[in-house]
Structure 1
Amino acid sequence: MTTLFRTTCLAAILSVAGLAAQAQTALRLAHAAPETDLQQNLALFLKEQLEERSGGEITVTIFPQGQLGNDAAMVDGTRSGIIDVVMTGLNNMTGLVPEAGAFELPFIFPTRADAYAVLDGEVGQGISEQFQGHGLKMLGYPENGYRNMTNNRGPITQPGDVAGLQMRVNNSKALSDMFQALGATPQQIPVAELYTALETGVVDAQDHPVGIVQSFKFDEVQDYLSLTQHAYSALALAMNLNKFNGLSEEHQALVQEVATEAVAMQRGLAQDREEEMLADLEGKGMQINRDVDAAAFQEAVRPVWDGFVAQNGDAIVTAITSR
């Protein structure tokens, strides 16, 4: 009886411990954007919905504005398990899966609908699966938006207007190659250091979606915003693969379901608020230029596509453009 009693007690303790462990599934979510950015809206949606729909069995702590390191550090931290979920520019992950760089090619997505169809469809899912080999579970592709150019020299309406600019670039090879082809001098600077670099004249131009220009307050150090829309910029929402696989099947399904809803919500906000953001920037003194010769830019940057195909083959570019 004593042995049976002890065995029963141990089983009960282990059962309670298992439930406690499940109840204490805590996720750390990190991103580099300010709390005023739509990336924080997505993070808050994810937190609220996961906590509510899991009955408190999953909790999420958000670390915005690069609190856990720059983009590269956050990606590495997520792969190692120090961070559970990361939201970052997809360009910060193309070193792991070079074919994902096709999504960064200038003018490859004529419309947002085209981008969504590719990223959420067979092509995007194929790329997502490749990240599992690097310890990451891709949960979706939120929106950073169409990239536009800002500078202090004047409106950019045609390719020649870019020549001679000291242009900050991210680590996207496609964008760096594009600005080089246009005659600018690209310099890679982390986004967290960009405001100071613009303020001190280290660079005099940069490119980002409208939401980032607003949330990082680049209007304070840049006079002209030209809506070149030269590249669609996707974000990546990814989770440590071991952490995801360690969840119950029910919680795995919930995380993916909520992530998909969060991406859709954030994309909708990005579209709905863009004109409002532009009006805000204009009201703060930024000169908005919509007169851009898109056809001339597309022709000028075509060699960037050729360079990508030479390095990575034409399969993914063909899959994107022939759908």
Structure 2
Amino acid sequence: MKSVSHLASLVPAAALALSLGTGAAQSKEFRLGLITPPPHIWTVAATAFGDELKSASGGKHTVTVFPSQQLGNEAQMMQQLQTGALDMAFLTIAEVSNRVPDFGAFYAPYLADDVAHAGRILRSDVAKDLLSGLPQKAGVIGIGYSMGGLRQIVSRDPVTSAADLAGKKLRITPFEPIKDFYNALGAASTPMPLPAVYDALANGQVDAIDMDAELIWALKYYEHADTILISNHMMFPMVGLVSARVWQSLSEEDRAMIGKLMARHLDGAIDTYVQKEGDWLLSVEGTGRTIVEADAAFFADAIGKWEAIWTEKAPVLKDLRKVAEETR
């Protein structure tokens, strides 16, 4: 596994590949956007990163964190990063995969056995090497990965087989890998921003949602559920990004400091999920809702259809599957 310091050393090289100059040292008030609410692990990590950067820089650099889509949805924040209007963001890999399809390989159904295994995959050299192409392909610098645990399904109606999801309006994060998975199930994929999900599930605007254990519990999505499918069917990675335009204005010293500190807090959030995921699932299982445990066999037909699409679209998938096997 590459060390955090080695990763930080690669980031300036990636930025220089854009033929952008090295900026002089100067004070900077960074703005960091993300979609998660203030108590969420990603937001907490972003805030902690900002606090440590301020301390490490002797107050020269500060970070203002904008949670809960205050700066727009992820597609809008990605555009802002590309133009330099936004300095930094913690975004789901979903948005990155819309621009760089190889990142869609992370969403291969049952690539990871559990949340700890997902962490090992994200810490692999294969995963980290994908970040080096982001300056050229997306106009951003990829500092490192974190994640949001594994995905589960919350349904207003009973679910005893994958066929029960056919025809259901199912809330997803709007990106192709997960859309292809639910389309293969025959569900009506319904993209929806996170702040709208609770009311949509409550009033029947959607029949089911694809969600992580943390938010199922913390935001009480289970209150409007008949069945909670404990499926762990996909990992849900996140990536810490810096605008390439902003990056080129920084000194080498500041690039190294920001890269090291952000990578540390991203990686620490992975550890938090490994520690807490089991407790969240136990809490969800104790809500009195019907709990159905599902494995790969439950979704067998859909998985086959997904693989047929994404093996071709994301050639790195074969390498990630090798990593997954080696890290079991």
Query: What CA deviation, in whole Å up to 9, does each residue of 1:238-261 have, x standing for no partner?
Result: 010121222221111111111121
Deviations 1:193-233 (A, max 9, x none): 22232222121101111113234432333343221111001
- Give the counterpart letter for 1:264 in structure 2: D
Q: Name the SS of the counterpart of 1:230 in structure 2.
A: coil
**Residue 178 to residue 52, structure 1, CA distance change in 2 (3 Å):** same
Match of 1:25 in 2: 28
> Aligned to 1:138, which of 138, 142, 157?
142
Cα distance between partner residues in 1 of 2:219 and 2:96: 22
In structure 2, distance between residues paired with 1:157 and 1:42: 37
Q: Would the alpha carbon gap of residues 53 and 300 (structure 1) be closer, same or farther in structure 2, given more than 3 Å must change?
A: same
Letter in 1 for 2:69: G
Q: Is the CA contact 2:36–2:42 (under 8 Å) kept in the aligned structure 1?
A: yes
The equivalent position to 2:253 in structure 1, one of 250, 257, 262, is 250
Amino acid across the alignment from 2:298? A
Q: 1:30 to 1:286 in 2, by over 3 A?
A: farther
Residue 234 of structure 1: which of 237, 241, 249 is its match?
A: 237
Larger radius of gyration: 1
- SS of 2:256's partner is helix
Q: Which residue of 189, 192, 210 maps to 2:213?
A: 210
CA contact (8 A) 1:31 1:86 kept: yes
1:302 to 297, 301, 304: 304
Query: How big is the shift at 1:288?
Result: 5.9
Give, in angstroms, the shift of residue 282 of structure 1: 5.1
Secondary structure, counterpart of 1:32 in structure 2:
coil
Indicate the larger mover: 109-118 or 221-230. Answer: 109-118
1: CA distance, partners of 2:121 / 2:76: 28
Shift of the 286–39 alpha-carbon distance from structure 1 to 2, 3 Å rule, reads farther
Give the drift of 1:77: 1.2
Cα RMSD between the aligned structures? 2.1
Q: In the TM superposition, what are the counterparts of 1:56-75 in structure 2 within 5 Å?
A: 56-75=59-78
CA distance in structure 1 between the partners assigned to 2:235 and 2:80 by the alignment: 26
**Structure 1 stretches of 5 or more lacking a match?**
1-20
| Correspondence for 2:166 | 163
**TM-score w.r.t. length of structure 1:** 0.85
Report the CA distance between 1:22 and its aligned residue: 4.6
Provide the residue aligned with 2:291 in structure 1.
289
Distance 1:129 1:179 in 2: 30
Q: State the match for 1:317 in structure 2.
A: 317
Tell whether the 8 Å contact from 1:131 to 1:138 is kept in structure 2 after alignment.
yes
For 1:178, give the aligned amino acid: F
- For the residue of structure 2 that corresponds to 1:322, the secondary structure is helix
Cα distance, 1:137 vs structure 2: 0.4
Alpha-carbon contact 2:173-2:193 (below 8 Å) kept: yes
In 2, Cα distance between equivalents of 1:279 and 1:113: 17
CA distance in 2, matches of 1:266, 1:122: 19
Question: For residues 51 and 227 of structure 1, do their structure 2 counterparts lie closer, same or farther at Cα, with a shift above 3 Å needed?
Answer: same
> Which of 152, 168, 172 is equivalent to 1:148?
152
Equivalent AA in structure 1 for residue 156 of structure 2: N
Percent identity over the alignment is 25
Matched, 1:278 2:290: no
Shift of 1:298: 4.0
How far apart are the structure 1 equivalents of 2:182 and 2:198?
20
Q: Which moved more, 1:293-302 or 1:135-144?
A: 293-302
**Greater shift in the superposed pair: 94-103 or 177-186:** 177-186
Give the TM-score normalised by structure 2: 0.84
Q: Secondary structure at the match of 1:74?
A: helix
